[in-house]
């Protein structure tokens, strides 16, 4: 997986939240496009989390992207 695929997911219209899987086993969620900034060289990205902490990742170490199914909070009635 290359950095350009992460950039495509980040810039998708409409945006779909996604999870970045790293080679070391970490998983980083991107809930909104404004919560992620990609460096001009496309080598690094900074992800801003809901608790206002940040995580910087090297995009060449991304192994996969996951696009979870959207949950609307409703449950099927039996």
When pLDDT is averaged across residues 3-28 and rounded to a whole number, the result is 95
CB-side exposure of 78: number of CA atoms within 13 Å?
A: 0
**What is the value of pTM for the model shown?**
0.83
Digit-coded pLDDT (tens) for 27-41: 999 999 999 999 988
Confidence grade of residue 42 (pLDDT, cut at 50, 70, 90): confident
Q: What are phi and psi of 2, to 5 degrees?
A: -110, 165
Could you give the domains of the chain?
3-66 (2.30.30.100)
Instruction: Give 22's strand partners.
Output: 62
Instruction: Give 47's strand partners.
Output: 36, 55
């Amino acid at each position: 997986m290359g950095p350009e695929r992460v950039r495509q997911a980040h810039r998708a219209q409409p945006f779909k939240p996604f999870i970045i899987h790293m080679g070391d086993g970490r998983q980083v969620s991107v809930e909104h496009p404004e919560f992620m900034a990609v460096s001009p060289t496309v080598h690094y990205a900074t992800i801003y989390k809901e608790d206002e902490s940040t995580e910087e990742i090297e995009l060449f170490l991304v192994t996969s992207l996951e696009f979870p199914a959207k949950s609307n909070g409703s449950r099927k009635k039996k």
